[in-house]
Structure 1
């Protein structure tokens, strides 16, 4: 029914034109015979009407085709951008995780790992507005999962920044002040020298950030694969960016 309604203006135009033609023909009988349309006069008028109708109809079909192609092109570009953003987020977290794993234990990560400077990732955001078409193809859950994944990524970046700032502003000055850097000391002695707050904050911050990195790498990879599957279902003959082939299931090694 929805498709039929889109042709209403055309059919109404045709019916109106035919009605006007019939009215003109029969009303002319009551006026005078000399203006009564004969076949050779009616046919050019009628054929011109048919020509105009078919011209308008095919122009309408061509315009609809162009609009459909533009819509598909926009959807393809939106999916490409989404997959590219996901792989950027994955690579960012992967590099951070590699830095953590250069230090074998949580204590090394908490006290020996320096603050790390990474590129800005504020522009690594998924464009949800252009992905709103997912609701039209019954993939609203995918859109919601992408929203959650974006929030997870931002939470991880914030956690990393908090850990870096704490290390620079609190932990490093405390280590230099107590001169414990490089010394083999019992945990109780390190806690006493640094203070309970700095000691436990350093451990908790490193633990939380590393755990978030591991979990988000897994969720990012899984969601990338799901988005890729949807993209291939809509555009089976197109090429899309696949998830990282280096991914392995992460388990926080604390």
Structure 2
């Protein structure tokens, strides 16, 4: 296969390169009452550099366990996994992780929360302040730098968490239902901001867990449907970019995929 690149405005992403590879990856836990429970069954999955992949399925299907395995929070019981050409644990400096809840530190301002990861990485004070200020501006929170988490709405808190994740400049973004805790109107606003950030480049590899079929189709390049610890379906979305939420929902491919995935579930 010929190598291809996708221009992102500030760099080129080699879409023929594999960023994440799982081969026969299985996760089994011991039950308290005895015996074992297999959460993931021999998963084979390759994710290309710069690709946005959504993991979709009902609660308990294994999607968060798969994400945690990529993040080196869960070890595979058998099989193998590589991230950024190495083990997940060694790849951690290249990863950004965003949870459903913002997990902001209450004793730090919005600015201080965005700086936190940079501080842990030893970035000097002046640089991390500049980076944090820049990213708060990009998520439309300029002027809110000195506000404490309790002074922010839930949507603002989640945008601070988004800025904190992007400020680390990760090659891979791991996102576990990052917008699920938001009300419907705020969710649409934050989704659109995230989509604009990702599309404006450089395009990071994204693995995005959601139970929302519409969200998966709208945001992702590719949707992987999980059920009972197995891959049930794996489909390229095929809707052109750049996208906005309104135009995607009206696209014929959106309805086609929505019905396909709903039938599988």
Higher helix share: 1
Q: Which has the larger radius of gyration?
A: 1
Which TM-score band applies after superposition, normalised by the shorter structure? under 0.3
Provide TM-score, normalisation by structure 1: 0.23
TM-score (norm 2): 0.22
